[in-house]
Structure 1
Amino acid sequence: MQKVRMIAQGRVQGVGFRWGVYALATEIGGITGRVWNREDGTVEILAESKDSPLMAKFIQEIRKGPTPFSKVTYLDVTLANFESYKDFKIAN
């Protein structure tokens, strides 16, 4: 199981970014986790997958920006340890 924590910076709030991340996780399949806005204007994503190529594709698509109006200027991706999720949801 690969678990990552991502912090997306750029134009990521007010542009449907969280919904785009949710749709991307659903479309790719095999990705579970959570996504939410942070008070500092960034978006945090906790994601996990048993399939490394799927996770790599998910991260690649997040870097591109999952919605037409979003623009990711920096994506911090680190391995993480968190409670496993059974689905992917938008938190808060």
Structure 2
Amino acid sequence: MWAVSEDVRLTAWVSGRVQGVGFRWWTRCRALELGLVGSAGNLRDGRVEVVAEGPKDHCEQLLSLLRSTSSPGWVDQVVERWSEALGGLDGFEER
């Protein structure tokens, strides 16, 4: 019998120099490559909020990429929150 992977929701707040450097676009590309749905949006305090839903291992890969040195700009910190997937998302948006 095959184990079914349940979808999860990752919410990550990324701080550093992440606005105005193509970070949201880069995040969208990585999320789509991983088959995730959600969004990446600028917050007024200079952070980027990333919301992604899909298989947990794919969300963990995205989180690892967010923390890597391969992203545009400069990431100082990533704070994460895990929860149940809410569904209803389609594609991956830049906000």
Question: TM-score with structure 2 length normalisation?
Answer: 0.82
Alpha-carbon shift at residue 81 of structure 1 (Å): 5.6
Q: C-alpha offsets along residues 22-77 of structure 1, whole Å, 9 cap, x if unaligned?
A: 01111222x1101100000000011111x22111111100111553x411110000
Counterparts of residues 44-83 of structure 1 (less than 5 Å): 44-49=49-54, 51-65=55-69, 67=71, 69-80=72-83, 83=86
C-alpha distance in 1 between matches for 2:27 and 2:62: 9
Indicate conservation of the 8 Å contact 2:8/2:84, yes or no.
no
- Pick the aligned partner of 1:8 from 14, 22, 41: 14
State the one-letter code of the partner of 2:74.
K
Indicate conservation of the 8 Å contact 2:40/2:51, yes or no.
yes
What root-mean-square deviation, in Å, do the aligned CA atoms of Structure 1 and Structure 2 show?
1.7
Alpha-carbon shift at residue 80 of structure 1 (Å): 3.7
Question: TM-score with structure 1 length normalisation?
Answer: 0.85
Q: Which runs of 5+ in 2 are unaligned?
A: 1-6
Alpha-carbon shift at residue 79 of structure 1 (Å): 1.7
Q: Which runs of 5+ in 1 are unaligned?
A: none
Measured at CA, do residues 5 and 52 of structure 1 come closer, stay the same or move farther in structure 2, by a change above 3 Å? same
State the one-letter code of the partner of 1:11.
R
Number of residue pairs matched?
88
Identity across matched positions, percent: 27
